[in-house]
């Protein structure tokens, strides 16, 4: 009886050792199988950190020709522009600085370049491209999609002269290669914070995005100025948006004269 039990125990132990050995052997013969686990993890990490782009060149998120400190020190409101077009790379970089995605997150709202109260992200950014404009883009009004880092054409044709008239005929609005128009949809923030969202948080966020445009333009050697004098209703009509969009600022951008 004892010998039988002993033999059965030895057989079970041998079987277990055989299984363990085959698993270890499989690992040693197929090291790539084990590596794929790390690759999958890396892919997941990349999905939460990399900036995807569609329609605009990938934004530069490292390096650059000027430090933040230097850009702050050199920043000026510049109202004179050369009659030269901007590149698609420069346009994409400016828009990314205003509202681009800086970190992808699973099961959460993606982080953007400018901070937002409660990550409600009420800002909608438009680009009015005129003459001399942007290489590879026709004149018109475009809406910026931060998620895809892409532009959607919403109105064809050069309307910069109309925008200049709406902005109390400030000539630099019409002379720039393009104008970045920042608007806010207050409801996205007031749903969480009530009236304080409209009175305080949305304008604060527009200021954050606007300063990013200033500093990015400075680092690219471009000129810009913040414009706040314009007819809100007329600008909404030009952009062809509803009353829920509040125009907050215009940034003419061009090459240094």
User: DSSP readout, 8-50?
Assistant: HHHHHHHHHHHHHHHHHHHHHH-HHHHHHHHHHHHHHHHHHHP
Q: Residue 66's pLDDT band (boundaries 50, 70, 90)? A: confident
pLDDT at 42 over 90: no
Average pLDDT over residues 237-256: 98
Q: 31: which 2 tokens? A: 């090291």
Phi (first) and psi of residue 143, to 5 degrees: -105, 135
Q: Where are the alpha helices (DSSP H) in 50-182?
A: 68-74, 88-99, 160-166, 171-175
pLDDT at 125 over 70: yes
Phi (first) and psi of residue 23, to 5 degrees: -65, -45
> In which element (H, E) is residue 156 found?
strand 150-156
pLDDT at 228 over 80: yes
Q: How far apart are CA 135 and CA 143, in angstroms?
A: 17
Average pLDDT over residues 224-246: 98
Question: How crowded is residue 77: how many other Cβ atoms within 10 Å of its Cβ?
Answer: 11
Q: How far apart are CA 179 and CA 248, in angstroms?
A: 13
64: left (phi over 0), alpha (psi -120 to 50) or beta: left
Q: How far apart are CA 238 and CA 242, in angstroms?
A: 11
Condensed to tens digits (0 to 9), the pLDDT of residues 154-213 reads 999 999 999 999 999 999 999 999 999 999 999 999 999 999 999 999 999 999 999 999
């Amino acid at each position: 009886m004892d010998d039988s039990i002993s033999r059965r125990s030895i057989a079970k132990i041998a079987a277990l050792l055989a299984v363990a050995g085959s698993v270890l052997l499989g690992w040693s013969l197929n090291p790539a199988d084990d590596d794929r686990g790390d690759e999958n993890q890396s892919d997941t990490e990349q999905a939460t950190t990399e900036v995807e782009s569609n329609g605009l060149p990938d934004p530069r998120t490292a390096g650059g020709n000027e430090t933040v400190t230097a850009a702050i020190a050199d920043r000026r409101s510049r109202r004179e522009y050369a009659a030269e077009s901007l590149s698609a790379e420069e346009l994409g970089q400016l828009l990314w600085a205003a509202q681009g995605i800086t970190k992808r997150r699973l099961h959460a709202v993606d982080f953007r370049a400018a901070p937002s109260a409660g990550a409600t992200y009420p800002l909608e950014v438009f680009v009015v491209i005129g003459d001399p404009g942007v290489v590879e883009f026709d004149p018109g009004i475009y809406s910026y999609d931060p998620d895809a880092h892409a532009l959607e054409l919403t109105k064809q044709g050069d309307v910069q002269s109309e925008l200049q008239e709406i902005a109390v005929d400030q000539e630099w609005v019409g002379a720039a290669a393009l104008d970045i128009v920042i608007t806010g949809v207050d409801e996205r923030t007031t749903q969480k914070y009530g009236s304080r969202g409209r009175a305080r948080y949305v304008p604060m966020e527009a200021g954050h995005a606007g300063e990013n445009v200033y500093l990015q333009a400075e680092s690219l050697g471009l000129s810009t100025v913040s414009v706040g004098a314009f007819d809100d209703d007329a600008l909404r009509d030009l952009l062809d948006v509803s009353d829920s969009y509040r125009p907050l600022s215009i940034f003419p951008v061009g090459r240094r004269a």
